[in-house]
Amino acid sequence: MALRTVKPLIKFVALALALLVCGLLGWRLVRFLEIDSCLDSGGRYDYEANVCVLSEQG
């Protein structure tokens, strides 16, 4: 393979990996903030059902 065709391929692979990493980190951040918001509001997070459970205290 000529060096001229390898450089664009390397750039494409690097960009694809960077986008994949950013997407995964973004997804994890959104999940973390969802759980954190639930806990900050006084609820508990049910990890099996992926829902915030707010208790009604009277």
**Who wins on pLDDT, 52 or 9?**
52
For 27, the token pair is: 């997804």
In the prediction, which pLDDT does 14 show? Answer: 95
pTM beyond cutoff 0.85: no
Separation of alpha carbons 19 and 10, rounded Å: 14
pLDDT at 1 over 60: no
Residue 36's pLDDT band, with cuts at 50, 70 and 90, is very high
Cβ atoms of 12 and 22 within 8 Å: the answer is no
In the prediction, which pLDDT does 57 show? Answer: 64
- One-letter amino acid of 35: I
Residue 55's pLDDT band, with cuts at 50, 70 and 90, is confident
Q: Any residues with CB less than 8 A from the CB of 35 and at least 6 apart, and which?
A: 45, 52
